Structure 1
Amino acid sequence: MFFTSAESCTGGLLSQSIVSVPGSSGWFGCSFVTYSNISKHKILGVSKDSLKRFGAVSEEVVTEMVDGAVAESRADLGVAISGIAGPGGGSPDRPVGTVCIAWKLKDKQAIRSTFLFEGNRNEVRYKTVVKSLEEAIELIK
């Protein structure tokens, strides 16, 4: 089983966590760090309409991100992350710590969820990585 990721607010932290595990080259295919909206569109195929209508931090956008990552990499399992790690950038609707994550098994519909993590920028990023991996493991059990 090959795994891929599409990361925004974690900026490659998920990938770094994975490759720190010996033997990960046997199951980790690649990662897409798409921090900007234009990279989400050009690299992963996220529609400009979705980015405009829902915003980069939305379940709709992470679903398109994970769909694009799995399609591009031909992975069996993918995860996509987009959020507001802080300290700025939050709003009443999407405060700092809001993170959307989507998981996808090849040929299945993506599962997506929104979380609100507390802490500073790095704590939000680390909590996001942990949650994304925990749920990915549950998905393949």
Structure 2
Amino acid sequence: MRFDRQESMLKLNESAAPVLSICRSPVGLPKLPAPGGQTHFDILRQWLAHCDEKHKDCLPPRDGPLPTRLIDLGTKETPCIRLFETKHGAKLQYIALSHPRGQGPHFCTLRSNIEEHKRPSPRRSSPRCSEML
């Protein structure tokens, strides 16, 4: 006898129907921890990892078109932020954030500051959400 976990269900001997489901139909919205805290970012990281590992079929093709510009957030070892212009045919993995959060100032690239934004600068002035990446 073998139990396998699939999402919130337990299946017996690779059967199609679950023998136990922790949550079949959610009632209401989940209560999440306060935005910006360590627990919040840990949950977001886990969701992204789950999507990357379990939902490979719904990822866009890597050879598809990229945005003209992306924001490079560097690495943990080299935390910098810069505007990055993509090249035609490049294959990159990126994440899109929908809109700015909290009080400004928000990053906004204009003709007058595009060259400045292309130069790496310390990430201390970047949005808090960049810390999860």
TM-score tier, shorter chain, comes to: under 0.3
TM-score, length-scaled by structure 2: 0.25
Q: Relative CO higher for 1 or 2, CA cutoff 8 Å, sep ≥ 6?
A: 1
Bigger Cα Rg:
2
TM-score when normalising by structure 1: 0.24
